[in-house]
Amino acid sequence: MSKTREKILQISQSLIQSNPFQPRKKFDQQELEELKESIRKHGIIQPIVVTEIGEGHYQLIAGERRLKASQLLGLEKVPVIVRDEVKEDQKLELSLIENIQRKDLSVLEKAIAYKKLHEEWGLSHQEIGERLGKSRPVVSNTIRLLALPEEIKSALAEGRISETHCRLILSYKAEEDQLKFFYKITESGVPSRFALKEIQEEREEARYHLEPNKISNIFTTPVTKTIKDFDLREKEENLMEALGTKVEINKSGQSGKITIEFYSEEELKNIIEKICS
C-alpha cells in the first residue's frame, strides 16, 4: 500500500462519519466502559484515523472503539490523524490491520473482511496475506469457515465450539453430515483431538462398504499418524499466523526442526522482531 500524507487535528465528533468498511460488527459494552474510564484518566493516547470527505467532514478509518468510548464520555473533540487520498479498498485494509493487530476481531469477522477484499477488490489470498502479515493458508482456511451452516457459525461466534472444531466439521461435504457431527460435539463436549479420531474411525469403518479400487487414501491413513500430522499442522498454522510467513515443522521422535521462510532482508528483520518481542 502506498504511503499517504498525514496531519493531526482536534475535531468535533459530530464531523466524523462511521466507516462502512468497518469489519467489526459487535462491540462489548463492558469493554467500552473500561476504555471510557481509561480515556477519562489518560486521554486518547493513540489518535483516531480518518480521511477527509469534503465540506469539513471526515470518515472514520480506524479507531471506532475509541470514538464510541469518547462519545460515552461526552468529549466534544477528539484527536485524529487525517489521511489524504485513501482509496476504498485501503479503508477496509486499514481497519482490518488495526483490528487484527489489536486482536479485536472475531474469526468470522476476519473471514468476512478477507472475503470482501478477495471478491470486491480482486486481491488473491496470497496478496491479502502479504498485506496483513498472514500466510496464504491462514487466509484461505479462515474464509472457508463462511461455508459452514448458520447454526454452526453462530456457535463459533458464541464460543460454544472452537475454530479447530469447525475445520474438522468442514471435512464433511454434506451439510447434513456437518450438522450431525456438530450436534455430537456440542452435546458431548468432545475435544478437537478426539473429534478428529472419531472422524477417522468413521472413515475406517466406511471403507469396508466400498470397493477396494474406490477407497481414498484418507480412509487408509493410520489414525495415530493422522492425529500427529493434524497437531503439527495446527502448530504450523499458529506459527504462520504469528510470524506472517510460511513455517514448516519436521519432527522425529521428541526432536525436530522448524523452518521459517523469508523473502527479503526486511521480512527477516520483521520475523526476528516478532520472535524476540
Residues that are catalytic = 64
Report the DSSP beta bridge partners of residue 57: 54
Q: Give every CB contact of residue 44 below 8 A, 6+ residues apart in sequence.
A: 66, 70, 78, 79
Select from 69, 173, 155 the least CA-distant residue to 107.
155
Q: Give every CB contact of residue 258 below 8 A, 6+ residues apart in sequence.
A: 239, 247, 248, 249, 250
Contacts 24+ apart (CB under 8 A), 46-49: 47/8, 47/78, 47/79, 47/80, 47/81, 48/16, 48/78, 48/79, 48/80, 48/81, 49/80, 49/81, 49/83, 49/94, 49/98
Helix (H, G, I), strand (E, B) or coil at 257: strand
| Sign of torsion over alpha carbons 42, 37, 29, 15 | negative
Residue with cell 472413515: 203
Select from 237, 248, 243, 239 the least CA-distant residue to 268.
243
Q: How many CB atoms lie within 10 A of CB 232?
A: 15
